[in-house]
A and B are shown apart, each in its own frame.
Chain A
Amino acid sequence: MTAVLDRAGESTSAHAPVRTPRRARRRLGDVIVPVFAALAFVYLLVPVAYTVVFSFNDAGKTNLVWQGFTLENWQNPCGAPQVCEAFANSLQVGVVSTIIATALGTLVAIALVRFRFRGRATTNLLIFLPMSTPEVVLGAALLAQFLTLRVPLGFGTVVAAHVLFCISFVVVTVKARVAGLDPALEEAAADLYASPWQAFWRVTFPLLVPGIAAAALLAFSLSFDDFIVTSFTSGSYTTFPKFVYVSATRGIPPQANVISSFMFVLALVIVVLVQVLGYARSKRLGAR
């Protein structure tokens, strides 16, 4: 990198002595930043592209070598044994943990911002613990507890574990939104005859919705692709990441690529849709 800079600097000063070095450096920056950005994107997207491309592979026994193009995998995504069952399990765990973690996390966030109570500072600190603990440690500790308490491993234990680590992310996300909310709004609602219950649902909640939605999306994606904690707490219950990991030893079926690609495209569509809607809305407000 330094070599490139030096050489480029020399060449500009040699050919155009009038140009100040500062301008030359800026021109260089104009070129280098997009190049590095492009390289970074390539680096990030190659594995994704690989996954998508190999979802069209006419794989025989293993999906490691390109064997030829086919649409068969996409026409029959549940073709491989257990792949759709694992996918359905992941969706189920994701949805249930997201709902529980978002509901509890939102309540915790409101309590932490709006109320002064004994142990508030401690709670504020402890809420970061699941985020900062290494997942392996968290998973092992949970497994040890479940075994000691003789809780049968399965859907229930996986959800409990996922709620545990998702809740911290929800609290952190929603807390920022609650802190930005003018307390006078709730007072105004109370002043306008709204009971605490009505004030919450008519004023507080609608204003928190963007934060809660962001937190829910985050929780879902964390839960959906979690492998480490899940593998400790699931027993024989299989989620999609676990299925991929287990089948890696004998070759991942192309159907797994299909489902992964589908999830990627779905996420992309959602992001684009949100952006377009947001843009249209801001334009409409601005036009008035």
Chain B
Amino acid sequence: MTTTVDPGPRASSADRTSAGGAALEVKGVTKAFGSFVAVDDLTLTVPSGSFFALLGPSGCGKTTTLRMVAGLEEPTAGTISLAGQDVTGTRAHQRPVNTVFQSYALFPHLTVGENVAFGLRRSRAKDVATRVADGLDLVELGHLADRKPAQLSGGQQQRVALARALVNRPALLLLDEPLGALDLKLRRQMQLELKRIQTEVGLTFVHVTHDQEEAMTMADTVAVMNHGRIEQLGSPADLYELPRTAFVANFLGQSNLVAGTVTERLTERGLLGVDVRGTRVLVPEDRAVRTDGAVLVGARPEKMRLLVGDQEPGPAENVLGPGTVTDVSFMGVSTQYQVEIPGLGTFGVFAQNLLGGATVSVGTSVRLAWAVDFTFGLDGAQAPDEGAVDLDDEL
């Protein structure tokens, strides 16, 4: 093993190029550090050529998952397959996978060009010089090939790290919060850049992030992770419109969740009648996780509207209230209202400023209305604020 050059990345690099990225299959993978279980019986499939995001708060096991796929961490149980081949027992340098590290991990003693050539040299690739030049051109850094990493800005270093991974045309490109160290403006720019490059080279990207906006704008498929498990997996729009757990509802965007009990099933209309503190709320049956007992009824803030005075709700709308407007924040495109309903808690309502400016002032008595079709039902055993941004935690 010390002297033989591993055939892994070299042998597969030829047939890989034509395939244009391979599928990743993680089956029943568990990783325990002592008694702490970082990743718990995780199973997921990443289709070839897709942009996949692992989204979750810090400590949810997403980075550990990525490191196991890269071969930098050994799973306690389960198997990892790349393009149908079991690679669980192989080590990092034998896997046709490349990683863009959070800290970039550029080799400080090598020039930018030598950094990018590193993987190609190890796998004894041909036309190293051409491929390095192409790789640097892709990230628009061709003119900086002779510099040392320390002489580059953060954004440039990030792009070198990306080029260094991409030139190897890996079956799978892993991105470990690569944009975390960049400032907001640069981050937005790099998100678009990454998406462009992914479309251009057609490789499979697995992107780890705790930024839900980043995951939603970039990925085809998002897996929301929490406590070492996948809470929900789907397209960004599906996850947003139809969260299946309180954690997803709160972590991905904001949600208004209230506890209730299912009291009737209107099977012919496909609806559930839920009693929320004496008010009947309708939930489409196919949008509910469970159809009996305790549930959480939810709706996104932008789906809700304020009913002032004797304004009547539409025929297919749920209504809660009355309550009092406690806060009005004018945001330009929209206005965010906080409405306190006694006994039910505080609700957020985002109203588009179609008529210009805020129309309801603090202290006004209002009711909340929203379309039944946009209502979702979750398991009532969960805490309604699970996954919500806790300011105390952030500080």
Contact = CB atoms under 8 A, between A and B. Distances in A.
Interface of A: 182, 184-185, 187-199, 202-203, 206-207, 285, 288
A193 B105 contact: no
B168 A188 contact: no
The 3 closest A-B pairs by CB, nearest first: A192-B119, A188-B105, A193-B122
A195 B151 contact: no
B151 A285 contact: yes
Contact of B72 (A187, A194, A195, A199): A187
Contact of A194 (B70, B93, B101, B148): B93
- Taking chain A's interface residues, is the majority helix, strand, or loop, or is none over half, making it mixed? helix
Interface stretch (B1-9, B135-143, B236-244, B351-359): B1-9
A199 B92 CA distance: 12
B195 interface: no
A28 B93 CA distance: 64
A192 B168 contact: yes
B151 A187 contact: no
B118 interface: yes
6 contacts: A182-B105, A185-B107, A190-B93, A191-B72, A191-B97, A193-B93
Contacts of B164: 192
B147 interface: yes
B99 interface: yes
B103 A184 contact: yes
Interface string B94-125: 10011101110111110000000011001100
Given A190-B92, A194-B93, 7 more contacts: A188-B99, A192-B98, A192-B168, A193-B93, A197-B2, A198-B122, A288-B151
A190 B92 CA distance: 6
B91 interface: yes
A192 B115 CA distance: 10
A192 B70 CA distance: 10
Nearest to B8: A193
A207 B109 contact: yes
B152 to A, nearest CB: 11
A201 to B, nearest CB: 11
Nearest to A186: B105
A193 B109 contact: no
Most chain A CB within 10 A, of B2, B3, B71, B122, is at B122
Contacts of A288: 147, 151
Nearest to A206: B109
B82 to A, nearest CB: 14
Nearest to B117: A192
A42 to B, nearest CB: 41
Contacts of B91: 190
Nearest to A190: B92
Contact of A191 (B70, B102, B103, B108): B70
A140 B51 CA distance: 70
Contacts of A182: 103, 105
Contact of B118 (A187, A189, A206, A285): A189
B108 A207 contact: yes
Nearest to A183: B105
B105 to A, nearest CB: 4
A4 B301 CA distance: 79
Contacts of B119: 192-193
Nearest to A198: B122
A180 to B, nearest CB: 11
A206 B99 CA distance: 22
Most chain B CB within 10 A, of A192, A207, A288, is at A192
A199 B118 CA distance: 10
A194 B71 CA distance: 13
A206 B107 CA distance: 10
A207 B106 CA distance: 12
A192 B128 CA distance: 14
Interface in B143-160: 147-148, 151
Interface in B303-329: none
Interface string B157-187: 0000000110010000000000000000000
A50 B151 CA distance: 48
A187 B101 contact: yes
A137 B108 CA distance: 44
Nearest to A202: B118
Contacts of A196: 2, 93
Interface in B23-69: none
Given A185-B107, A207-B109, A191 B98 contact: yes
A203 B107 contact: yes
A281 B287 CA distance: 66
A135 B357 CA distance: 84
B6 A185 contact: no
Contacts of A197: 2-3
B103 A192 contact: no
B164 to A, nearest CB: 7
